Amino acid sequence: MRELSLHILDIVENSVKANATLIQVDIEVKNGYLYITVVDNGKGMSEEFLAKVVDPFTTTRTTRKVGLGIPLIKQAAEVAEGEFSITSKLGEGTTVKTSYKLDSIDRVPLGDVPETITTLLYPNIEFVWRYAVNGEEFIFDTREVKEELQGVPIDSPEILVFLKSLLKENIDSINGGIII
Amino acid sequence: MKSIADIKAIREKMQAQIMNRDNVSDAAETRVVVGMATCGIAAGARPVFNELVDQVQKRGLENVKVTRAGCLGMCKLEPIVEVFVPGQEKVTYVKVDAQKAKDIIEKHIVGGNICTDYLVGEE
Ligand SMILES: Nc1ncnc2c1ncn2[C@@H]1O[C@H](COP(=O)(O)OP(=O)(O)OP(=O)(O)O)[C@@H](O)[C@H]1O
Ligand SMILES: [Mg+2]
* Averaged pLDDT for residues B44-67: 96
Beta carbon of A70 within 6 Å of any ligand 1 atom: yes
The shortest CB-CB distance from A157 to any of B3, B38, B57 is to: B57
Answer yes or no: is pLDDT of A18 > 90. Answer: yes
Domains of chain B (ranges, CATH numbers)? 4-118 (3.40.30.10)
Per residue in B83-96, pLDDT (tens digit) is: 999 999 999 999 99
Cβ atoms of A142 and A71 closer than 8 Å: no
- Res. B4 pLDDT band, cuts 50 70 90: very high
Coil, strand or helix at A97: strand
Cis status of the peptide bond prior to B86, with omega within 30 of 0: no
Share the mean pLDDT of chain B: 91
* Averaged pLDDT for residues B50-69: 95
A6: left (phi over 0), alpha (psi -120 to 50) or beta: alpha
Q: How far apart are CA A26 and CA A35, in angstroms?
A: 8
A4-175 is a CATH 3.30.565 domain = yes
B70 Cα–ligand 2 center, Å: 9
* Averaged pLDDT for residues A23-31: 98
User: Predicted ipTM?
Assistant: 0.94
Share the mean pLDDT of chain A: 97
Beta carbon of B41 within 6 Å of any ligand 1 atom: no
The shortest CB-CB distance from B42 to any of A1, A144, A160 is to: A1
Domain ranges of chain A: 4-175
Q: In this complex, do A145 and B49 lie within 8 Å of one another by their Cβ atoms?
A: no
Q: What pLDDT, on the 0 to 100 scale, is given for residue B102?
A: 98
- Res. B16 pLDDT band, cuts 50 70 90: confident
DSSP string, A106-162: TPPP---HHHHHHTT--TT-EEEEEEEETTEEEEEEHHHHHHHHTTS-TTSHHHHHH
Q: What pLDDT, on the 0 to 100 scale, is given for residue B28?
A: 83
Interface test with A, best of B3, B17, B34, B38 (most A CBs within 10 A): B38
Per residue in B33-45, pLDDT (tens digit) is: 999 999 999 999 9
